[in-house]
Amino acid sequence: MTALRHVQVPIPGRSYEVVVGPGAAEFVGKLIPASARRAAVVTQEGLPLSVTANIPHEQFVVGHGEQHKTLATVEQLCRDFAGMGLTRDDVVIAVGGGMVTDIAGFAASCYHRGVPVLYVATTLLAMVDAAVGGKTGVNLPEGKNLVGAYWQPVGVVCDIDALDALPDREVRCGLGEMAKYHFLTGDDLLALDLTDRIARCVEIKADVVASDEREDGRRALLNYGHTLAHALETETDHTLAHGEAVDVGMMFAAHLANVLGRIDVGRVDEHFHVVAEAYGLATDLPAGVEPQRLVTLMRRDKKARSGLTFVLDGPDGLEVVAGVDDRPVLEALARMAP
């Protein structure tokens, strides 16, 4: 049997453990704060993993789909917490994918100005990205994750047994985020088994988050491919899932870096090899999207403090590049037409 991996996320004063591997759900009780007398378990219907809280708890179910990732859902959860008498010493346990951890984490950060939250990730995307690092949030009609907070969990459980029942589309979404780590480090993640690959992604993210918790610098690199991805999600009304959009966003970032003279065609080909060939993911723009509309949406991105801003590859690896003109952006988008 594959051994469990234990990864520390060394946030100063708020370090926590991420447990990865088959059967990791058994660790949930060990990660609950000793002060907690009750737990509010936030989850969705039909998930392949049940969790034992080991303390009195009530369960609250949120809907499937980005249309439920709203302030209204957060308000309802906070009212549910108040109804059960949850206190600041208790705990919220989020069981699900990235949408559940984002919503439950944001609700926990708001209720009583901050209640401990523990994540039990049931999707590959949540395991390698959403459940680690403390970013929470919900959408507005104007864009994705525009309202949120930084709120670190007290622990994260990644039980890979939950992945056995994961639909193919959800697997692809997770692989999209996993591919990102190839370009952050140059690591050959494909040489590792699944537990070690997920744990390595967590280690990479933990190192970045520990050095820049609130995305003032280095942490923005974790958004590689995400500027276009978030615009695509909004423009397609979320019919394109997050991980699928990130696949396209990384290839766009490679083309844009090439247009700007930051990388050569060979490096663009490396991106295509990892994203399209190694992971089998799509790299074309969805049919029917309007490039100029995408540019407008990308201007609303959280990183866009000095005009259009992207995380781009270059001679020294990934870095944040601000003040990019529309022309090279539109040229890169034109290369990706279906």
Q: Are residues 247 and 300 in the same domain?
A: yes
The set of catalytic residues is 113, 135, 177, 205, 215, 219, 223, 226, 230, 242
Q: Are residues 37 and 139 in the same domain?
A: yes
Residue 212 lies in a domain: no
Q: Are residues 41 and 173 in the same domain?
A: yes
Beta bridge partners of 90: none
What percentage of the chain exceeds 70 in pLDDT?
Answer: 98
Q: Are residues 32 and 145 in the same domain?
A: yes
Average pLDDT of the segment spanning 296-316: 85
The secondary structure of 81-123 as a DSSP string is HHHHT--TTSEEEEEESHHHHHHHHHHHHHGGG---EEEEE-S
Cβ-based neighbours of 28, under 8 Å, separated by 6 or more: 51, 52, 53, 54, 93, 118, 120, 157
Cα–Cα dist 7/93, whole Å: 19
Task: For residue 327, give the DSSP letter.
Answer: H
- Higher pLDDT: 185 or 63? It is 63
Average pLDDT of the segment spanning 143-162: 94
Cβ-based neighbours of 26, under 8 Å, separated by 6 or more: none
Cα–Cα dist 165/175, whole Å: 16
The distance between the two most distant Cα atoms of the chain, rounded to a whole number of Å, is 59
Is residue 142 predicted with pLDDT exceeding 90? no
Is residue 155 predicted with pLDDT exceeding 80? yes
Is residue 323 predicted with pLDDT exceeding 60? yes
Residue 197 lies in a domain: no
- State the burial class of residue 216 (Cβ atoms within 10 Å of its Cβ: 0-12, 13-18, 19+): exposed
Q: Are residues 233 and 301 in the same domain?
A: yes
Print the domain residue range for 41: 5-179
Q: Are residues 169 and 315 in the same domain?
A: no
Cα–Cα dist 269/251, whole Å: 9
**pLDDT recorded at residue 303:** 67
Q: Are residues 10 and 102 in the same domain?
A: yes
Angle at 306 between CA 125 and CA 239, to 5 degrees: 35
Average pLDDT of the segment spanning 126-155: 93
Confidence of residue 305 (pLDDT cuts 50, 70, 90): low
Residue 231 lies in a domain: yes
Cα–Cα dist 200/69, whole Å: 29
Pairing of strands 155-159, 5-9: unpaired
CATH number at 242 reads 1.20.1090.10
What stretch of H or E contains 80?
helix 71-84
**pLDDT recorded at residue 215:** 78
**pLDDT recorded at residue 46:** 87
pLDDT of 109-119, one tens digit each? 999 999 999 99
The secondary structure of 15-52 as a DSSP string is -EEEEEETTGGGGHHHHS-TT-S-EEEEE-TT-S----
Residue 193 lies in a domain: no
User: What angle separates helix 242-259 from helix 226-235, to the nearest 10 degrees?
Assistant: 130
Confidence of residue 1 (pLDDT cuts 50, 70, 90): low
Domain count for the chain: 2
Q: What is the mean pLDDT of the chain?
A: 92
User: What angle separates helix 291-298 from helix 226-235, to the nearest 10 degrees?
Assistant: 120
**pLDDT recorded at residue 40:** 96
pLDDT of 174-233, one tens digit each? 998 999 999 998 888 989 999 999 999 999 999 999 988 887 778 889 999 999 999 999
Residue 96 lies in a domain: yes
Confidence of residue 54 (pLDDT cuts 50, 70, 90): confident
pLDDT of 86-102, one tens digit each? 999 999 999 999 999 99
What stretch of H or E contains 310?
strand 308-312
> 123, 146, 179: which is the final residue of a domain?
179
**pLDDT recorded at residue 338:** 82
Q: Are residues 128 and 236 in the same domain?
A: no
Cα–Cα dist 267/273, whole Å: 10
Confidence of residue 9 (pLDDT cuts 50, 70, 90): very high
Residue 188 lies in a domain: no
* Residue 168 CB coordination number (10 Å): 7
Average pLDDT of the segment spanning 36-60: 89
Confidence of residue 122 (pLDDT cuts 50, 70, 90): very high
Pairing of strands 117-121, 155-159: parallel
CATH number at 85 reads 3.40.50.1970
Residue 63 lies in a domain: yes
> 156, 179, 202: which is the final residue of a domain?
179
Is residue 35 predicted with pLDDT exceeding 70? yes
**pLDDT recorded at residue 247:** 93
**pLDDT recorded at residue 52:** 77
Residue 184 lies in a domain: no
pTM: 0.87
